[in-house]
Amino acid sequence: MTIGSNPGTIWGFGFLAVTIINLASLLGLILTPLLKKSYFPKVLTYFVGLAIGTLFSNAIFQLIPEAFGFDPKVDNYIEKAVAVFGGFYILFFVERILKVILKIYNQAGHNDSESGEQNHSQDKTNPPKPPSSSNGGTCYANSAVIESNGSLGFDSISMVSAQEEAVQSRLCKCLNGRPLSKIGTIAWMVTLSDALHNFIDGLAIGASFTLSLLQGLSTSIAILCEEFPHELGDFVILLNAGMSTRQALFFNFLSACSCYVGMAFGILVGNNFAPNIIFAVAGGMFLYISLADMFPEMNDMLREKVTGRKTDLTFFLIQNAGLLTGFTAILMITLYAGSIQL
């Protein structure tokens, strides 16, 4: 299963894996029309759960054990790794059940107040107007951000005058985009941080392929599942920051290309030095991304305008399906890595 003796195979599979992963940066063009569909939050919830399951499982089953020099066939650590995931999943399951029960109890208490329901209906029929700017323009905000208390929060607010709005509409029609100086700062922060993130992903992919083909495949699958919702979210942020569709696709893909640089560096380091430190860093990043970044994002998706027992149960089942699918996929690869001949 080791492919370190054939550099051409390592570079070929590494380049192919990074290319497939980078195609996720172009999914925004295809999926943007689906953002307003009623079923899209459910699809995205599944992929976020899948990303959490694959990233977390890849870290505890392969990256971190490999950093310590463990062999799944010799050191017999897989059962302990399953117990680690089991502890995480039990707390997740209990917490979600408690939240559903408390939400049902709170809804039953609120139903006793008729005045609250009337005020709520008036808010729906008369939605608040966006704030006006001092120059007579309109203030737009990123409507995709939801606060922890469930209320809508404004992020990346930009002031656009009436004349600028007309110019922007004409530029968007011809796909030239706005001048770069008029694009929100958050767009460049997201692009730079995403480039660094993709560089680390490339490091993990390159170092994994120097170890074995299955190790590289497992790491690539985990990163691919994470990149789908991650790149789609970045694409929406770039659009809200003032970029045209063409600009958002270009800069999103440009930041994704740093994964090639990271892959090349990871292969060179893995072939000439012990890649254990790369596996350790990548394992820590995978744990952080899955638990501190994507897990709260998955919980935020439950805060919809229409909530109820059926909706909460549906999203809970979708979350479980995504988590367990990712966990099972990485577990099977780890268990049968020595038996699969590629």
Higher-pLDDT residue of 312 and 136 is 312
- Cβ pair 67, 340 in contact under 8 A: no
Largest Cα–Cα distance of the chain, in whole Å?
74
Work out the burial of residue 301: count CB atoms within 10 Å of its CB; fewer than 13 is exposed, 13-18 middle, 19 or more buried.
Answer: middle
Size (the chain), residues: 342
Helix (H, G, I), strand (E, B) or coil at 76: coil
Token duo for residue 287:
């744990």
pLDDT reported for residue 35: 67
d(CA 187, CA 248): 9
- Cβ pair 313, 42 in contact under 8 A: no
- Cβ pair 237, 184 in contact under 8 A: no
pLDDT reported for residue 126: 58
d(CA 227, CA 230): 5
The CA angle 73-76-82, to the nearest 5 degrees, is: 115
CA dihedral sign, ordered 200, 202, 208, 211: negative
- Cβ pair 172, 244 in contact under 8 A: yes
Q: How confident is the model at residue 159 (pLDDT cuts 50, 70, 90)?
A: very low
DSSP 167-224: HHHHHHHTT----GGGS-HHHHHHHHHHHHHHHHHHHHHHHHHHH-HHHHHHHHHHHH
Q: What DSSP element (H or E) covers 160?
A: strand 158-160
Q: Mean pLDDT in the chain?
A: 75
Helix (H, G, I), strand (E, B) or coil at 133: coil
Q: Is residue 77 scored above 60 in pLDDT?
A: yes
Average pLDDT over residues 62-66: 89
Helix (H, G, I), strand (E, B) or coil at 74: coil
pLDDT reported for residue 320: 93
Residue from 198, 207, 210 nearest 22 by CA:
198
Average pLDDT over residues 171-190: 65
pLDDT reported for residue 166: 46
pLDDT reported for residue 150: 46
Lowest-confidence region among 73-82, 222-231, 235-244, 282-291? 235-244
Percent of the chain with pLDDT over 90: 15
pLDDT reported for residue 96: 85
pLDDT reported for residue 121: 53
Helix (H, G, I), strand (E, B) or coil at 140: strand
pLDDT reported for residue 312: 75
Q: Is residue 235 scored above 90 in pLDDT?
A: no
d(CA 327, CA 42): 19
Helix (H, G, I), strand (E, B) or coil at 30: helix
